[in-house]
Chains A and B, each alone.
Chain A
């Protein structure tokens, strides 16, 4: 009745996206969660921003700096969670066995996770960005096209970290679940989300330069403080993202191979 071909991939990815849409429509807490945290972050950092503007000349030069930082940080966080949490849903449902005896290929699963992550991020951060306009009269969209370059770089870095977490959960089981929530925060101090990289200890600055996110946030501050769009920062972040993605895809492939060696795919679950 059916015959596999490479061109069936979009249909199978579409089926996985449909599966996730059904899940979301059946669960209002999941929908609420998408917008809840970005909204809380937005309100908190919006208030801090409002206070800081009255206290600091540097902050006063670029109103909305902290709001923009909070929104962009959430892009990274949502993109990573969007990949790892959606994969966890399949593990909670003990559905991996059925998925992997179907013609769904591992790269198609990865692409469906990335697509769902993009949709989740757009929704969650979109709500928060709308709130920033309503509550603080700050629109991140005023950054114009450079915002797209910053957004894409953070999205891809989040995807890469999400795929690395999926690989670890495939290899070590759901015991690694807590890691998925916490790991991104290890990148926060080095990314210079709310402060310039130059305030880090000198020995730590080269480490920060290895993160795509540090270049993105430096680029964001250049746009907001000096109205300069640094293509160099964007390219540096994109180059590092290529490396991050290659490592993530390598780990993901290795984890699948290992799970097939050890017979974990049929029994994986809570």
Chain B
């Protein structure tokens, strides 16, 4: 059974089709990327996977659970991070993590926070207010929040946005280590081609709400006769409009 199973997913806003008959599967323990230009439907897809947005039609199964009918059975086993969704600014980092630990029912939450703080170099600012942190520090806290419950499925929107190259690299290494340890499934939406190349087993190229191509980074680069993933992305983005 795949960790994520999406079948004929559709989201319309009136006459606008945001996601158009999307179907894909992510096997357990793999990392997939949703790649596409602005407005391709990546965030809309993630929102539907998380149960924040109701699809117009189609089915979503995460860990075998129907997300439209039973999302609360799956949510404790999932998590999400995005630099565009905030965490309360007035609470300290530790307080925020304790609150989310309570929401996710994390056992031994203090020890878990301490482990994450060490892994993501959060210890120096655990007692500082989240709002006083730099954007890079906030992104790391957000990542720590998303790993609090040791999720089996992790959805990420631009996971290393606003991080300097060194810290971003450390975060990717930590994510790889987390996945190796837990066999978690990761689906990320990103514009960072280097990140996608390094982290992902497979890429779903999206355009106008549809998957227009998919394959491993090596396969896609070879298929389009390009030197790197960025050129593949540009070639697909430049391509003619898809017929509706």
Residues of A at the B interface (CB closer than 8 Å) are 1-4, 8, 11-12, 14-16, 18-19, 22-23, 26-27, 89, 93-95, 97-105, 257, 260-263, 265-266, 269
Which A residue's beta carbon lies closest to that of B91? A22
Identify the interface centre among A12, A257, A263: most chain B CB within 10 Å of its CB: A263
The reply to whether A3 and B102 contact each other, CB–CB distance below 8 Å, is no
- A76 vs B87: C-alpha distance when bound (angstroms): 31
A sample of 4 more A-B contacts (CB under 8 A), given A89-B88, A101-B75, A263-B44, is: A2-B107, A14-B102, A22-B95, A27-B90
The reply to whether B103 and A103 contact each other, CB–CB distance below 8 Å, is yes
The reply to whether B72 and A26 contact each other, CB–CB distance below 8 Å, is no
Which A residue's beta carbon lies closest to that of B53? A263
> With A22-B99, A98-B85 in contact, is A2–B106 under 8 Å at CB?
yes
A28 to chain B, nearest CB (A): 12
Identify the interface centre among A4, A99, A101, A269: most chain B CB within 10 Å of its CB: A101
B86 to chain A, nearest CB (A): 4
The reply to whether A102 and B103 contact each other, CB–CB distance below 8 Å, is yes
- A2 vs B89: C-alpha distance when bound (angstroms): 26
> With A22-B99, A104-B103 in contact, is A93–B72 under 8 Å at CB?
no
Chain B 15-55 near chain A by CB (<8 Å), digits 1 or 0: 00000000000000000000000000001100100111110
Which B residue's beta carbon lies closest to that of A258? B54
The reply to whether B75 and A15 contact each other, CB–CB distance below 8 Å, is no
- Interface residue tally of chain B, by bracket? 35 or more
Which B residue's beta carbon lies closest to that of A23? B90
The reply to whether B129 and A26 contact each other, CB–CB distance below 8 Å, is yes
The reply to whether A2 and B104 contact each other, CB–CB distance below 8 Å, is yes
The reply to whether A15 and B102 contact each other, CB–CB distance below 8 Å, is yes
Sample of 28 A–B contacts (CB below 8 Å): A1-B107, A1-B150, A2-B77, A2-B106, A4-B73, A15-B100, A18-B99, A22-B90, A22-B95, A26-B90, A93-B86, A93-B87, A93-B88, A93-B90, A94-B85, A94-B86, A95-B87, A97-B82, A97-B85, A98-B85, A98-B86, A101-B75, A103-B105, A260-B51, A260-B53, A261-B54, A262-B13, A266-B85
Which A residue's beta carbon lies closest to that of B104? A2
The reply to whether B129 and A1 contact each other, CB–CB distance below 8 Å, is no
Contact of B91 among A3, A26, A101, A103 (CB under 8 A): A26
Contacts of A26 in B (CB 8 A): 90-92, 129
The reply to whether A11 and B102 contact each other, CB–CB distance below 8 Å, is yes
Contacts of A260 in B (CB 8 A): 51-54
> With A93-B89, A98-B100 in contact, is A103–B47 under 8 Å at CB?
no
The reply to whether B98 and A18 contact each other, CB–CB distance below 8 Å, is yes
Is B136 an interface residue when CB atoms closer than 8 A count as contact?
Answer: no
The reply to whether A2 and B88 contact each other, CB–CB distance below 8 Å, is no
Identify the interface centre among B77, B107, B145: most chain A CB within 10 Å of its CB: B77
Is B171 an interface residue when CB atoms closer than 8 A count as contact?
Answer: no
> With A1-B149, A8-B105 in contact, is A98–B52 under 8 Å at CB?
no
Contacts of A16 in B (CB 8 A): 99, 103
> With A2-B105, A4-B72, A94-B85 in contact, is A100–B91 under 8 Å at CB?
no
Contacts of A15 in B (CB 8 A): 99-103
Identify the interface centre among B88, B89, B98, B107: most chain A CB within 10 Å of its CB: B88
- A264 vs B13: C-alpha distance when bound (angstroms): 12
Contacts of B2 in A (CB 8 A): none
The reply to whether B75 and A102 contact each other, CB–CB distance below 8 Å, is yes
- Per the 8 Å Cβ criterion, residues 126-171 of B in contact with A are 129, 145, 149-150
- A26 vs B95: C-alpha distance when bound (angstroms): 11
- A4 vs B65: C-alpha distance when bound (angstroms): 13
